[in-house]
Amino acid sequence: MNGKSGAERESERRVRVVDIVNLSSSANALLKERVLAMRRSGLDNRIVCMDGPHVRPLREAGIPVHTVHLPRGLDPLKLMVSMIEIAVYLRRNRVDLVHTHCSVPGAVGRIAAWLAGVPVIIHTVHGFHFHEGTPPLKRLLYLLVERLCGRLTDTLLTQNRSDLEQAERHGIGPRGRRWHVGNGIDLERFRPVAHRSRPGALVIMTCVARLEPVKNHTMLFEAARILKQRGERFRLRLAGEGPLRRDYECLCRRLGIDDRVEFLGYRDDIPALLSETDIAVLTSIKEGLPRAALEAMAMGVPVVATRVTGTREAVRHGETGLLVELGDVAGLAAALALLIGHPDLRARMGCQARRVAEEQFSETDVVRSLWSIYGSRLRARSIGTGSGALAGGHGDGLEPVPDC
């Protein structure tokens, strides 16, 4: 026996953090590198998500993953079952901090963490659902859910400033602990490569997004039909899976653009795809701060996107790409045609996009911000005071934790 009391042993164990998200693909794309950085720095950071093809690679990378069923719909019974399952896991593993992401897993995860008595509950908004164009009744429901869950939240984080303003306006989350942390990507993994379209070659446009309603692919397909009718030489590649794939394949055939559109499915080699891309496209209805746009910018690819919450803070119109109004199909086609016909403009915008990504969208900066927030909130609950990771120590190049 080492003679240490239970309290002493408890204070010396690694601080346990659990991130909760819905899909394993989201866990892989959004959380993997950050969680690995936190683990290298001394935290016992884990992930809870749905079972899927990316669970095994996450585990092989050294991240403990617990799988649950997280329905994307609003079935009360299924949501309650998920909530109880997550709460049991959190309580059994004596989790110190839960960090939830997105809407449904954000609500389910926060209630589960509250039921389990988790001391610190943090939520990141990846774009509120009460966005421009939301029907009034749905908007009221989403707002009510966010306000109720906000009462269980120790700290609310947003990726864009518009969502922060919305949270403050509607009283979502604790006053004084609503913070904008932005979003970032691995600037070493996403680096520009020498790629120039040959004169007369097809211009490659790539859209990296799940095939689901919020990503609004129909607007892109309608613009592609206009481009084809005008005789533009292009190929549109779609990287992403989702429930609407068959519907979209049928739609492309009806629009007569199936010979121009390539459905690639989910891809984990996005840097390779972007290295062959001339224009990145994103037509979402709303975003947090879209990684798809940031990754393209980091690789020196101009972005054409809808001017919506989140995206308009990532893409600088006329500098790093072009923004069009949501629903303006003709405007989208015109913006794409402009870049298709002017390779020099694409190159200039791509160079500026890389500079902006380096200045504003480094994943390392986001990790440091989260490290500070975690440390501050845990110390406020007297957690981690005996842990090297949070008692002023730091690993893997992270800076000491200041008070927030």
Buried b (16+ CB within 10 A) or exposed e, 164-186: bebbeeeebbeeebbbbbbbbbe
pLDDT of residue 396: 40
Going from the C-alpha of 228 to that of each of 218, 221, 333, the distances in angstroms are: 15, 10, 10
Q: What percent of the chain has pLDDT over 90?
A: 83
Q: Is the pLDDT of residue 388 over 70?
A: no
DSSP 3-state assignment of 389?
Answer: coil
Q: What percent of the chain has pLDDT over 70?
A: 90
Q: What is the mean pLDDT of residues 204-222?
A: 98
Q: What is the pLDDT of residues 222-232, one digit of tens each?
A: 999 999 999 99
pLDDT of residue 138: 85
- If you search the block for the tokens 């884990």, which residue do you land on? 46
| Spatial contact of 311 and 323, defined as CB atoms under 8 Å apart | yes
| Spatial contact of 322 and 345, defined as CB atoms under 8 Å apart | no
Least confident of 42-46, 73-77, 214-218: 73-77
| Spatial contact of 244 and 250, defined as CB atoms under 8 Å apart | no
Give the sheet arrangement for strand 234-239, strand by strand.
261-265, 234-239, 203-208, 279-282, 303-306, 321-324
Q: What is the mean pLDDT of residues 65-70?
A: 94
Does 203-360 match 12-184+362-380 at the fold level? yes
Contacts of 237 (CB under 8 A, 6+ apart): 204, 205, 206, 207, 261, 262, 264, 273, 277
Q: What is the pLDDT of residues 93-102, one digit of tens each?
A: 999 999 999 9
Q: What is the mean pLDDT of residues 76-84?
A: 94
Strands (E), 126-200: 155-158, 178-180
Q: Is the pLDDT of residue 278 over 90?
A: yes
Q: Is the pLDDT of residue 175 over 70?
A: yes
pLDDT band at 201; cut points 50, 70, 90: confident
pLDDT of residue 395: 37
pLDDT of residue 390: 59
Instruction: Supply 323's token pair.
Output: 């923004």
Instruction: Supply 368's token pair.
Output: 């440091």
| Spatial contact of 91 and 119, defined as CB atoms under 8 Å apart | no
- If you search the block for the tokens 């609503």, which residue do you land on? 178
pLDDT of residue 322: 99
pLDDT of residue 12: 53
What's at 83, amino acid-wise? M
pLDDT band at 402; cut points 50, 70, 90: very low
Q: Is the pLDDT of residue 1 over 70?
A: no
pLDDT of residue 134: 77
Going from the C-alpha of 368 to that of each of 230, 374, 399, 400, 402, the distances in angstroms are: 48, 10, 7, 9, 10
| Spatial contact of 363 and 10, defined as CB atoms under 8 Å apart | no
Distance between alpha carbon 315 and the CA centroid of its chain, in Å?
Answer: 16
257: left (phi over 0), alpha (psi -120 to 50) or beta: alpha
Q: Is the pLDDT of residue 58 over 50?
A: yes
Q: Is the pLDDT of residue 353 over 50?
A: yes
Per-domain boundaries in the chain: 12-184+362-380, 203-360
Looking at the structure, give the CATH architecture of the domain made up of residues 203-360: 3-Layer(aba) Sandwich (3.40)
For the whole model, what pTM was predicted?
0.88
**CATH dotted code for 12-184+362-380:** 3.40.50.2000
